[in-house]
């Protein structure tokens, strides 16, 4: 199940990052950082301890602060999580099919015990302190569990490029950090499904311009990705997955909040802000049409960027 770690830089000529509203708390450098670090397990079966991620290197990650952490969980726990998730039939999942994503989303009432154990481990006071040391800001749990997620992707599925919601709709605090843990089954590089981190304008404005993928990260088993939710943290897995047999792209997600600070953040959206279609005679007009139905605005994305991996539209 475990493959050779891969995190590749898609664009070597990336200009210095300008976060505008977040520069005071997470000053970034222009250096390209490719981070692969190991998590240190705590004593005990169901716990995670120090991330062992260098804060300066994390903040210098491009195109926004992030780290790739291989072998994040004890392998027996990771195997149990994968096994428990795969044992659940498709019928218990919510099948998501929209203009921006195709995937299976597991309702929280069906979370197996191994997933609940993982949630508890990642919401301890000790783990929150690790995130605070990394980010330099106070971090809070997602008390309602609004951003807890188990996502499964089959062949033909994808998640378009987006910036996460800026404000938690229930807690009214800033959505600040996210952890993704990949539990993919029998995954091969040719299946695609890479997590892509994109360069782009702030999601706080209407019709921001996106410049394309800067980093691609393979969804390998027991690999975690930690990143800061800035106004420009464009990410997704827009290339259509092409898996075979029993292979599935599986990702566990969990996010954390911080106090609102209008001097640092401008994105006030309470839902994810998707980039939209990038193919056809007028992709921007098509995106505007879709957003007219959802009450959001469109993004401007170069046609040349999108022609490489066009998303499937349902």
- What digits encode the pLDDT tens for the residues 32-61? 233 344 444 444 446 676 788 999 999 999
* pLDDT at residue 204, rounded to an integer: 81
How does strand 195-200 pair with strand 7-9? unpaired
Mean pLDDT of 126-141: 93
**For the chain, what percent of residues have pLDDT higher than 90?**
51
Mean pLDDT of 117-128: 93
* pLDDT at residue 1, rounded to an integer: 45
* pLDDT at residue 13, rounded to an integer: 32
Enumerate residues 6+ apart whose C-beta is below 8 A from 164: 175, 178, 229, 233, 255, 272
How does strand 223-228 pair with strand 66-70? antiparallel
Q: State how many domains the chain has.
A: 1
10 or 94, greater pLDDT? 94
Mean pLDDT of 196-213: 86
What number of H helices and E strands is found in the chain?
6, 14
| C-beta separation of 302 from 199 below 8 A | no
312 assigned to some structural domain? no
Confidence bin at 291 (pLDDT 50/70/90) = low
57 assigned to some structural domain? yes
Rg (Cα) of the chain, in Å, rounded?
Answer: 18
271 assigned to some structural domain? yes
Domain span at 95:
7-306
38 assigned to some structural domain? yes
99 assigned to some structural domain? yes
Confidence bin at 183 (pLDDT 50/70/90) = very high
Q: Which domain CATH number covers 230? A: 2.60.120.620
144 assigned to some structural domain? yes
140 assigned to some structural domain? yes
Predicted structure pTM score:
0.77
Mean pLDDT of 73-93: 96
110 assigned to some structural domain? yes
| C-beta separation of 277 from 287 below 8 A | yes
């Amino acid at each position: 199940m475990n493959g050779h770690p891969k995190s590749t830089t898609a664009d070597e000529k990336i200009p210095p990052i300008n976060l505008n509203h977040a520069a005071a708390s997470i000053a970034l450098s222009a250096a390209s950082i490719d981070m692969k670090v190991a998590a240190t397990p705590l004593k005990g079966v169901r716990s995670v301890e120090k991330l062992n991620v260098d804060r300066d290197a994390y903040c210098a990650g491009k195109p926004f602060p992030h780290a790739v952490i291989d072998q994040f969980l004890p392998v027996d726990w990771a195997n149990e999580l994968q096994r428990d998730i795969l044992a659940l039939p498709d019928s218990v999942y919510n099948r998501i099919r929209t203009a921006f994503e195709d995937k299976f989303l597991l309702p929280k009432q069906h979370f197996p015990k191994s997933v609940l154990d993982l949630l508890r481990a990642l919401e301890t006071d000790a783990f929150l302190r690790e995130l605070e040391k990394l980010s330099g800001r106070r971090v809070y749990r997602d008390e309602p569990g609004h951003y807890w997620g188990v996502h499964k992707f089959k062949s033909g599925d994808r998640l378009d490029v987006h910036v996460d919601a800026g404000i938690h709709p229930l807690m009214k605090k800033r959505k600040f950090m996210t952890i993704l843990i990949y539990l993919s089954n029998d995954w091969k590089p040719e299946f695609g499904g890479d997590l892509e981190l994109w360069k782009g304008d702030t999601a706080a404005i209407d019709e921001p311009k996106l410049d394309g993928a800067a980093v691609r990260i393979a969804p390998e088993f027991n690999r975690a990705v930690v990143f800061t939710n800035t106004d420009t943290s464009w990410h997704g897995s827009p290339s259509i997955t092409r898996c075979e047999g029993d292979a599935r792209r599986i990702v566990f997600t969990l996010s954390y909040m911080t106090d609102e600070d209008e001097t640092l953040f401008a994105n006030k959206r309470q839902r994810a802000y998707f980039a939209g279609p990038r193919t056809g005679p007028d992709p921007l007009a098509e995106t505007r049409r879709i957003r007219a139905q959802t009450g959001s605005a469109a993004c401007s994305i170069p046609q040349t960027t999108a022609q490489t991996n066009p998303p499937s539209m349902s």
